[in-house]
Structure 1
């Protein structure tokens, strides 16, 4: 029997990954809401996005599942659309408790206090907001709703705090307004905290250590973790360099993280969904810290699971959407290890050269598993890239496999040298030299 699965913001890369799952020959995958309307648009018009989705599904032979792998608003649209179609999935309220960083921290403090750093609510619109430090520095200041470290600042001085508040005031509406529109669809608004909606910020104490992500799912209340990946940061200790599967962390540490994940997810009431949860392990103190919860599979990990396990973890998302227990993971992939690398510059410049089809084909000939997704084009200025962190510009995503970590990183540097990105001036990077010449 053919089933029809809709994926919000589906692009060619993730369509290929979805088709790697077992049973894909019996599934027709449909895009739901155009990619450019859901990923980095100038603004998120929630009601228009919902109307588009309903119109697209109305023409399908059937709608057997709706899944997604993008951040907000995809994660929040999913429960609304599933509810309207009578499909299983988490409640909107439980998703919003993950989506909103302040609301999520309240849940962390109630269920896993030993994994929760100090935090405080900040109203950036308050007349005296810039004059009162909410925590003793250093601390992080972030909007309650955002992704990819958008408007996230490490605060070490009162002057940095004032500057951050000014920038947040001018730009927080990008996510605050659509979050309010989504929250209006909640059937049980009393289940949500009264303070700290999308137009607020959270100040959090600094946590650190070795960062990893647990990929798992909840099905009928049963929490399962099927993969742990490491997240490596660059020289500024903020911007990500790579995500790597499998994790090198000790099994006992991974087990403690899985236990904490189960406790907080049950407290929130998240059910019938995949998830990924980020944790730090402070090796010196042997302390585990919870960073954030995402009620979806990670788009960044799809290719990694295919290279190591033989299929994207879209398989988990589809199985859970069908109320079917996943048979995942499996070691059916061609590589013992895989990584997603995020080549970055740590300075602004004009892009003079990006690799063309012949360049990419030549590199792929030597590294056939390589998947390259470029974010930049010739002639653009790096500072025009949307949704970047506050300290760097991500110019591409690069997925590769290898026998071990040393080989993986060596392959990354070799490939970046051969791809030969060039800029109008020499800028620091996380992959080696950035050429500024045009010859």
Structure 2
């Protein structure tokens, strides 16, 4: 008689928008031998072109209903529509997850500001710009310079800094033309929850104006499990000189302890107000280290996949681990730093002018560079044979050529490694 214990069955985890880079990270999380990761829709289906949210939900449900096995978790680490689809699908299939209403209170920038303002003072002046008006004007109390942005977008798409009336009018024209791509399907999802009157009146394809924030950019990451909020990390977000575009994110934050503590306090307060539970989150801030003052920029109802390797380099496990355990109904537990490096950054190698791409670094060149410089990972974004302006999900001011993940023992060493990589990466362009 065979008395050997049976090995436990692996958990089937469906990942919305599973991509190659993040799949590699997921397969390295502690306990990954217990999991089977299944792709559910592609990034192209989720983010490129028109977002057909009804068709996407139907396609996802068809895949899940046809699956011959247990559906143990549904997860995602992308912005809309993935973030809302995770909530809706978890509810439909009776799985642990955050409520759709809580996700929308984070995702809808105006609704989020209304909720934040009820519990914190650390928000800018804000209001709605009426895009249906023949001659829209800034809302009362919001002066120049300000930022105009759709109440729902991603990757800083259609976000504009405007310093005067002429720039305001130009930005309004562009937002009017493009706001529907994300705003119209977002409206369909908003229709699934009971909205406050002021949110229902503006809908999902509206324009938000906010006073410009200043200071040093930073972020917190955390999760909520059975109502208990844990903020486990703070990161710095550093821009290119004289530009609103990110140069890098780095972990852990190099800001003073008082500033980090204040960001964590604000994070807990707003997530309690929103009623967020059983999921990860990330919150972006502007900080003034001299005074300790912080101001909340925006809340993301998911952790940042951009930070996954940074946590892995420094802590020994990525933030994806927390997402997976929460989705399985498990307590993520305490995190301890056990990685090989003391600091890590995700760098955005950018070009600030359009051009036709005639050459990108080869796989062999990248492999050689990684052998020469330990603690480096390189993802090429630009594609040979297209114009940079044809790349999807770019911000309003630049074009991403590559993402570089660089880990080191000091910030100085990390910067030196990055410079060596950039000097070795051969991109070529035709102008005009």
Matches within 5 A, 1:100-111: 100-111=108-119
SS at match of 2:199: coil
Tell me the SS of whatever aligns to 1:362.
helix
Deviation at 1:146, TM superposition (A): 0.5
1:20 to 28, 32, 37: 28
Q: What is the aligned partner in structure 2 of residue 81 from structure 1?
A: 89
The equivalent position to 2:223 in structure 1, one of 211, 217, 220, is 217
Going from structure 1 to structure 2, the CA distance change for 1:260 and 1:134 (only over 3 Å counts) comes to closer
**Counterpart position of 1:252:** 258
Matches within 5 A, 1:39-58: 40-58=47-65
Q: Which shows bigger deviation, 29-38 or 293-302? A: 29-38
Matched, 1:98 2:98: no
> Which residue does the alignment assign to 1:337?
343
Deviation at 1:189, TM superposition (A): 4.0
Q: Which SS does the other structure have where 2:44 is aligned?
A: helix
Partner of 1:357: 363
Deviations 1:36-78 (A, max 9, x none): 111x311111111111111211214111111111111111111
Q: State the Cα deviation string for residues 381-410 of structure 1 (Å, max 9, x = none).
A: 111112211111111111121111111111
1:316 corresponds in structure 2 to: 322
In 2, Cα distance between equivalents of 1:131 and 1:98: 23
Give me the whole-angstrom Cα distance separating, in 1, the residues matched to 2:380 and 2:88. Answer: 32
Q: Secondary structure at the match of 1:216?
A: strand
- Given that 1:316 and 1:328 are in contact with CA atoms closer than 8 Å, whether structure 2 keeps it comes out as no
* Residue 128 (structure 1) aligns with: 135
Alignment size in residue pairs: 423
For 1:132 and 1:81, locate their aligned partners in 2 and report how far apart those are by CA, in whole Å: 37
2:332 is matched with which residue?
326
CA offsets 1:207-256 (integer angstroms, 9 cap, x no match): 12111111100111111011111101012330000010110111222111
Partner in structure 2 of residue 11 of structure 1: 19
Unaligned ranges ≥5, structure 1:
427-439
- Contact 2:305 / 2:320 at 8 angstroms: preserved in 1? no
User: Does the residue aligned with 1:70 lie in a helix, a strand or coil?
Assistant: coil
Q: CA RMSD in A?
A: 1.7
Tell me the residue number matched to 2:124: 117
Which residue does the alignment assign to 1:433? none
Find out whether 1:395 has 2:401 as its counterpart: yes
Q: Could you tell me whether the CA contact under 8 Å between 2:190 and 2:204 is conserved in 1?
A: no
Superposition deviation, residue 425 in structure 1? 4.3
Partners of 1:80 and 1:185 within 8 A in 2: no
Aligned to 1:184: 191
- Give the equivalent residue in structure 2 for 1:207: 213
Which segments of structure 1 move beyond 6 Å, counting only runs of 4 or more? 131-134
Q: Does 1:156 align with 2:163?
A: yes
TM-score by length of 1: 0.93
The answer on whether the counterparts of 2:129 and 2:138 sit within 8 Å (CA) in structure 1 is no
TM-score by length of 2: 0.94
Which of 360-369 and 292-301 deviates more?
360-369
Alpha-carbon distance in structure 1 between the residues aligned to 2:204 and 2:197: 16
CA distance in 2, matches of 1:194, 1:11: 35
Whole-Å Cα distance in 2 between the matches of residues 297 and 132 of structure 1? 32
SS in 2 for 1:318: helix
Q: 1:233-290: CA deviations, max 9, x gaps?
A: 0123300000101101112221111111111111111111100011111234432100
Matched residue SS, 1:16: helix
